[in-house]
Structure 1
Amino acid sequence: MADTMRGVYTNLTEIRRNVFREVASICYRAGKDRNMTRADIDDAFDELPYKILPGDVATYRESVFLERAIIGERIRLAMGLSLQGVDRPQRISDGFNEAEVDNLSYYEPPLINVIKFACNACQDNVYEVTNTCQGCLAHPCREICPKKAITFVNHKAYIDQDLCIQCGQCFKVCPYGAIHHHVRPCAAACGMNAISSDEHGRADINYEKCVSCGQCLVNCPFGAIADKSQIAQVIWSIQHGEEVIAAVAPSFVGQFGGKGNVGKLREAFKLLGFSGVEEVALGADLCTVQEAEDFLEEVPAKLPFMGTSCCPAWSVMAKKEFPDHAGAVSMALTPMTLTARMIRMQRPHAKIVFVGPCSAKKLEAMRRSVRSEVDFVLTFEEMAGMMEARDIDYLSLEDDDKSDFDVASTDGRNFAVAGGVATAVANAIKRTYPDCEVKVVNAEGLDNCRTMMKDAIKGKYPGHLLEGMACPGGCVAGAGTLVAIRKSAAAVKRYAKRSPHMNSTENIYCDLIPTLEKGFTKQDQDNEVTETFEAQIPKSPRQ
């Protein structure tokens, strides 16, 4: 399903941004104002729904009380806390003090959450006749129905839902297009078929299938699905005087405005309290070289094909659904992990924050078997909320006149766009072995990735490099992005061309790869799937 709302500033967009901004604002204010007590902080969070939605008249729903209850749940998720529901009296900030005391173990599954009383209980996989039915003489819909579920009432077609088997034959043959196929937007966007309906018809996530790609939350037009944030935890670390380094994903370009103003970005992060900023495209270069070496060594001598490793949602899906071919997914460490490990070598005591487009990275950073060295993960949208909390106008900032980030290649920077990873690997191989032809195929969206994997197993792609991206369009279409997908992709490509190096093999840090990947084993790769799903399974009966 296409993400039709991305890049359109809707009421829902405004609510999300307001929640991130206000949560960040309270956290910054609490650190700055020494006279602000715990009770003051609790009161400030309790007052937020009224600040975000003032007045006594509902704006979006039938009741202002319902609206504020939903806002309250979104605030809790933005604070990194679990949903509460409305069946008991509780304060919005319940549990926040405990999270602050031990901000590295605050997480309680699941990451992706359905706010049940915000869900519209949309119809899912239902065929209905619309008022455009002409009651034609041919009645092809009735004639083709295998269950005789269609009759004519007052010269209009009528579908008996008790008899309908959702085969869609009537939908296909209606000459007027008068039959509509209702599909729940979140379920249609989920490439894992992880969303069904509960007993009340509301969306329900099967966490044994969910890979946290986040496409459901950006496609729900009612804002009933949201993921947990680490805004508060990042701000606490900054305010406690710790050295906090931002590692910014290649898809950052244009997310906050402008056309790749790296100097402005550094200045914005400095104003937020970060000690430094590094470009994850550096790690993308190293990931490229790793995958190129893996491909040359293993395909086709040991493996019939090889899949890329950088998208965690694709990687976990492929390994879970095709366990007999899990070894065909590259063992190369992801750009996020490689970049964080490089930072850790130079700044061993720093807190590292990955800033990017992806919900799934929040779980990747938590894995125990493959330590990523990433302490926190923020999306671009969450980072924008932090900027608004500090009244930072990104475009008005001074450019620091320094050069671009540290010599990441054009290919490394293009990791953010669908097809970029496979192209980078093929180019790296071509640089070393000019006569070696690398056949590549890429898929966007988990449904298409699944099809690509099935075809590869059947032998359709012998000796190929398979690039999988969970989000249609690549990382520029991640759940935490701010900009229309095509516009973002164009901005990334323009910025990538500015690099003085075209090929990932030219990265001066390539010699560090053996050190950075030290300790990563096949067993660690096997544990990736188990750990990812364990980190999603709710531990509380209320969830």
Structure 2
Amino acid sequence: MPDTMRGVYTNLTKIRRQVFREVARAAYLAGDVNPDWADRLPYEILPGDKATYRESIFIERAIVGARIRLAMGLNLLPVDEPNKISDGLKEAERPEAYYEPPLVNIIKFACHACPENSYKVTDQCQGCLAHPCQEVCPKDAISFVNHRAHIDQDKCIKCGRCAGVCPYSAIVHRNRPCAAACGMHCIGSDEQGRADIDYDRCVSCGQCLINCPFGAIADKSQIFQVIKAIKSGAEVIAAVAPAFVGQYGGRGDVGKLREMFEILGFSGVEEVAIGADLCTVQEAEDFLEEVPDKLPFMATSCCPAWASMAKKEFPDNANCISMALTPMTLTARFLREQHPDAKIVFVGPCSAKKLEAMRTSVRSEVDFVLTFEEVAGMMEALEVDYTALPKPDDNDFGAASADGRGFAVSGGVANAVVNAVKRMEPDREVNVFAAEGLDECRKMMRDAVKGKYPGYLIEGMACPGGCVAGAGTLQGIKKSQAQVKAYMKRSPRKNATENGYRMQLPELLAMGRDEPDDAPVPPRNERRVPAPEELRETLSVETVEEPVEQ
């Protein structure tokens, strides 16, 4: 299903941003958490006594209240007993607090109970003489009543043939938008017809939450905890995903980006494309070593939603999914070499990264995950106008390659790995197949298992269009893809193998490779591997110096 609302500023977008803004503002301005502000927030966001969006102002405020709790990383409250938005608020105050599953939540009383997968005859039916819909139906589910087609839903198998042959386009396919967008097909209905998520299947890709036009689905956030960490005086570094280009305006203005994060209170900022370069090198080396002698094919792993789906549904071939560490994790390890006590915040387009960061093997590296939209809420809280910031002195991070930055768009990961393989073994031919969207990824994986792609490198992206289409992005997909490609050209390095930091990869991997979710993780200080001095001197992350008292 196409993401028809992406890039359109709707009433739902407005409310979502208001919630992020107010939660961020409270975190910046408040000392100890005062429960009163949380209980008052819905009245500030939706003042007055008249409903604007739903049938009742009370329903509207209840929905906003639920979204406030999720934005603070708290669980939804039961609706069948007395409670307040502020219940358990102290749990969110701790800087080290991490949200409990589930990550993606359905606010049940906000759900419209949209109809499930079905075909319906509309008023456009002319009761034509030919009756082609009836002729092609394989289950005799269509009859004519009062010269109008009628579909027996008990017989209908949802094949869609009737809709395909109707000369008046009078038969339409109805499906709830969240379910249609879910590539895992894990959204069904509860006993009241409201959407319900099968969390055993969900991979937190976030497509449901951006396709629900009623705002009934939201994921938990760590805005509050990140700001509390900043206010505690801790060193907090932002690791920004390659899809950042254009998200806040501009065309990848790195100087503006640095200044913006400094205003928000971060100690420094680095591009995750460095980790993408390291991931590229690791996957290229693994491909050369393992395919086809040890593995029939190898699949990329940087998209956590795609990798999780492939491992869930094809467990016998899970070893074909690359065990390379993701760019987020490698960048975090890379930064900790210079800043061992820092809080690392991944800032990107993806809700599935939040799920990845909850894994035991990643949580010790990445402290927090924020989406671009959540950071936009922080900007609004402090009234930061990105486009009005002074013209940047530097317009490039200067470290990552063009191929590493290309991870943000569909096909970019495979392209980077292929280019790295060609540098390592120029005579090696690498066949590639890429898919975007979990339905297409599933088909690709099914074909690969059957032997259709022998010796191939296959790339999966859960979001159609790549990371630039993630649930936490702020602008249209095609515009983002074009801006990322333009930013790629500004790198002085074309290939990931040209990045000098690849020398550090063995040391970063010595801390451990990708592990199962329940694998024990040793403390950071037991895994610390000092970086070479020459790399320490050239580390590009900038930190904000405290003023010296005269």
Q: Please give the TM-score of this superposition, normalised by the length of structure 1.
A: 0.93
Give the structure 1 partner of residue 546 of structure 2: none
- Counterpart code for 2:389: L
The offset of 1:8, in angstroms, is 0.6
Shift of 1:407: 1.4
1:182 is aligned to 2:174 = yes
Q: State the Cα deviation string for residues 253-304 of structure 1 (Å, max 9, x = none).
A: 0000111111101000000000000000000000000000000000111111
Distance of 1:181 and 1:510 partners within structure 2: 51
Matches of 1:399 and 1:310, distance apart in 2: 33
Cα root mean square deviation, aligned: 1.6
Query: Hey, what does 2:18 align to over in structure 1?
Result: 18
Deviation larger for 6-15 or 162-171: 162-171
| Amino acid in structure 1 at the alignment position of 2:6 | R
The superposition leaves residues 162-207 of structure 1 with CA deviations (integer Å, 9 ceiling, x where unpaired) of: 3333232322222221111101111111111110011111100000
Residue in 1 that maps onto 2:302? 310
Q: Report the counterpart of residue 50 of structure 2 in structure 1.
A: 57
Amino acid at match of 1:60: Y
Q: Secondary structure at the match of 1:242?
A: coil
Greater mean alpha carbon deviation, residues 400-409 or residues 491-500: 400-409
Q: 1:171–1:177: 8 Å Cα contact kept in structure 2?
A: yes
* Conserved? CA contact 1:230–1:377, under 8 Å: yes
> d(CA) in 1 for partners of 2:146 and 2:42?
49
Please show how residues 468-483 of structure 1 align to structure 2 within 5 Å: 468-483=460-475
Residue 537 of structure 2: aligned partner: none
* Partners of 1:319 and 1:115 in 2: CA distance: 29
Higher alpha-carbon deviation: 480-489 or 429-438: 429-438
Deviations 1:90-115 (A, max 9, x none): 121211212323x4344221000000
Assess if the C-alpha contact under 8 Å between 2:240 and 2:270 holds in 1. Answer: yes
SS in 1 for 2:360: coil
Corresponding residue for residue 456 of structure 2: 464
1:318-356 deviations in whole A, cap 9, x for unaligned? Answer: 111111111111111000000000110100000010000
Are positions 1:156 and 2:129 aligned together? no
Match of 1:293 among 271, 285, 292: 285
- Quote the Cα distance in structure 2 between the aligned partners of 1:287 and 1:166: 43
Q: Which residue of 1 aligns with 2:530?
A: none
Query: Does the residue aligned with 1:180 lie in a helix, a strand or coil?
Result: strand
Are the aligned partners of 2:361 and 2:516 in contact in 1 as well (CA < 8 Å)? no
1:93 aligns with 2:86: yes
Alpha carbons 2:432, 2:458 under 8 Å: kept: yes
* Residue of structure 2 aligned with 1:449, choices 441, 446, 457: 441
1:83 to 54, 73, 76: 76
Query: Please, what TM-score do these two structures have when normalized by structure 2?
Result: 0.92
Q: How far does residue 53 in structure 1 lie from its aligned partner after superposition?
A: 1.1
Q: Is the alpha carbon distance of 1:123 and 1:3 closer, same or farther for their aligned partners in structure 2, counting shifts above 3 Å?
A: same
The number of residues matched between the two structures is 521
Instruction: Say which of 432, 442, 446 aligns to 2:424.
Output: 432
CA distance in 2, matches of 1:371, 1:70: 30
**Secondary structure of the residue that 2:276 maps to in structure 1?**
helix
Following superposition, the deviation at residue 429 of structure 1 comes to 1.0
Question: Residue 246 of structure 1 aligns to a residue in which SS?
Answer: strand
In 1, the alpha carbon distance for the partners of 2:476 and 2:350 equals: 15
Instruction: Give per-residue Cα distances to partners, 1:186-240, cap 9 Å, x unaligned.
Output: 1111111110011111100000000000010011111110000000000000000
Judge conservation of contact 2:277–2:404 (CA < 8 Å) in 1. Answer: yes
> Which SS does the other structure have where 2:341 is aligned?
coil
Write the distance in 2 (CA, Å) between the matches of 1:48 and 1:242: 28
Q: Which amino acid aligns with 1:409?
A: S
> For residue 13 of structure 1, what is the amino acid of its counterpart?
T
Query: Residue 370 of structure 1: CA displacement?
Result: 4.4
Q: How does 1:36-435 map to 2 (within 5 A)?
A: 38=33, 41-101=34-94, 103-371=95-363, 373-402=365-394, 404-435=396-427
> Which amino acid is the alignment partner of residue 104 of structure 1?
E
Amino acid in the other structure paired with 1:67: E
Helix, strand or coil for the counterpart of 1:423?
A: helix
SS of structure 2 residue aligned to 1:509: helix
1:317 partner letter: M
Deviates more, 1:115-124 or 1:79-88: 79-88
The equivalent of 1:540 in structure 2 is none
What code does the residue aligned with 2:199 have?
A: Y
Look up the SS of the partner of 1:325 in the other structure. Answer: helix
Residue type matched to 1:351 in 2? K
Query: Unaligned 5+ residue runs, structure 2?
Result: 522-550
What SS does the corresponding residue of 1:216 show, helix, strand or coil?
helix
Given that residues 205 and 471 in structure 2 are in contact (C-alpha distance below 8 angstroms), is that contact kept between their aligned partners in structure 1? Answer: yes
Say which SS state the counterpart of residue 284 (structure 1) adopts.
helix
Query: Residues 261 and 46 of structure 1: is their aligned pair in 2 closer, same or farther, counting only changes over 3 Å?
Result: same
Question: Following the alignment from structure 1 to structure 2, what is the Cα–Cα distance between the partners of residues 336 and 48?
Answer: 34
Please tell me whether the aligned partners of residues 247 and 277 of structure 1 are also in contact (alpha carbons under 8 angstroms): yes
Shift of 1:156: 1.2
Partner of 1:6: 6
Verify the 8 A CA contact 1:316 1:528 in the aligned structure 2. no
3-state SS in 1 of match to 2:333: helix
Is the contact made by 1:285 and 1:504 (CA closer than 8 Å) also made in structure 2? yes
Letter in 1 for 2:197: I
Q: CA deviation at 1:372?
A: 5.3
Q: 1:451, 1:149 → 2: CA distance?
A: 29
Within 2, Cα distance between the matches of 1:25 and 1:85?
27
Indicate if the aligned counterparts of 2:253 and 2:392 stay in contact, CA closer than 8 A. Answer: no
Asked whether the equivalents of residues 279 and 325 of structure 2 are also in contact (C-alpha less than 8 Å), the reply is yes
Q: Distance in 2 between matches of 1:386 and 1:396?
A: 16
* C-alpha separation in 2, matches of 1:389 and 1:42: 19
Instruction: State the distance in 2 between where 1:293 and 1:464 align.
Output: 14
Are 2:253 and 2:395, in contact at CA under 8 Å, matched by a contact in 1? no
Contact 2:360 2:520 in 1 (8 A): no
Decide whether the 8 Å contact of 1:243 with 1:274 is kept in 2. yes
Contact kept, 8 Å, 1:471 with 1:477, in 2: the verdict is: yes
Residue identity in the other structure for 1:241: G
Q: How far does residue 526 in structure 1 lie from its aligned partner after superposition?
A: 4.0
Cα 1:465–1:530 change in 2 (3 A) is: farther
Given residue 512 of structure 1, which amino acid in structure 2 is its aligned partner? Q
Range moving further from structure 2, 466-475 or 174-183? 174-183
| Unaligned ranges ≥5, structure 1 | 32-36, 532-543
Shift of 1:529: 11
Partner of 1:534: none
Match of residue 547 from structure 2? none
Alpha-carbon distance between aligned partners in 2 of 1:120 and 1:277, rounded to the nearest angstrom: 41
2: CA distance, partners of 1:233 / 1:62? 34
Deviating more after overlay: 234-243 vs 175-184 = 175-184
